[in-house]
Amino acid sequence: MFTAAKLIETAQEAPHGGLLDRLQRHLLRLPTVPVAAHTQAAFEALQRELGPSPGALIFDSGCGTGESTRNLAERHPEAWVVGVDKSADRLGRLRAALPANVRLVRAELGDFWRCAVAAGWRLNAHYLPYPNPWPKARHYKRRWPAHPAFPWLLGLGGDLEVRSNWRLYLEEWHIVLESLGVASTLSPIAPALEAPLSPFEAKYLASGHGCYALRAELGSGGIPAPSWSAYQARCEAPEAFSRPALMALLAALPAETSQRSALEAALTLPSLRKPEGHRGAAASDFFPCDLAPGEWEALRETLEQVLEQRAEGGDDPALTLALRALRSR
């Protein structure tokens, strides 16, 4: 018997507007922090047991007590089914014997996916049964479509299935996958046609909630290239400067500096255009500035001389920003 589940409480009424921005940021800069030691050890132990190429492989990510892992293993006896959850307590609650093709692993999900991608593992299928993570609007970055680990999930490939009683959460998945050219379907789960996958799902269905499944084919995996790479390259080119950097240069330079006219002219030019999916308006705040390489060097020397002259007068934020912008080129 279940205690009736409460409806989801959230002020968010539509998919979050920052999703595609977060996705592209994470694709541009994949996580470089070390993998959690306990997750690395757990993955290596599993890899020793299953071998470097484990064959048909299914992940049940966020498996909780492992009941969903058991159900998946019974549906897919031909595959290894690996249930992953960060909670040792939840994983320890399942008392009955598991099918021989099940392995339960305590690990941080994002780190575990990263280890699997690095090992060259590719999935036949990937299930995420946890129904309503982080429903508060301010926590959207913690949901998987906006999470730094999302590129690793994409890299694992396979047939993806995410199940939830919060349709909005699955709509966010749909938007993010669509931006990458991955088609997905979102449909209600019909309890008359299929048994609940997880205890959560059973509880919500018993409480009269609608439950839904998003399905997509991620294929052979691989982390997508960011669509902002060309834009990033333009913004980081030696001749491109942000408006604040140009304004700081003009504020810090002596009036007679020969390069002033070129810097002033740059601010009147059309700014660089953002790629589709970037937050905010289409126009960026970066401008091309046409100076010869020798002139940039002369400009930096002029600013360093100004810095020496003002050394006793305290910090000058405009001068500091201007020098940082030039030295980064």
Set out the domains of the chain in order of their start, with CATH numbers: 19-217 (3.40.50.150), 229-327 (1.10.275)
Write the single-letter amino acid at 131. Answer: P
DSSP 48-107: HHH-SS-SSEEEEET-TTTHHHHHHHHH-TTSEEEEEES-HHHHTT--SPPPTTEEEEE-
d(CA 202, CA 187): 17
d(CA 31, CA 110): 10
- Render each residue's pLDDT in the chain as its tens digit; 329 residues: 557 788 888 889 999 988 988 898 899 888 888 999 999 999 999 999 999 889 999 999 999 999 999 999 999 999 999 999 999 999 988 777 899 999 999 999 999 999 999 999 999 999 999 988 899 988 999 999 999 999 999 999 999 999 999 999 999 999 999 999 999 999 999 888 888 999 989 999 988 889 999 999 999 999 998 887 777 877 888 788 889 889 888 888 888 888 889 899 999 988 888 877 676 788 889 888 877 777 888 888 888 888 887 765 556 777 788 788 787 76
pTM check: above 0.85: no
Question: CB-based contacts of 33: which residues, under 8 Å, 6+ apart?
Answer: none
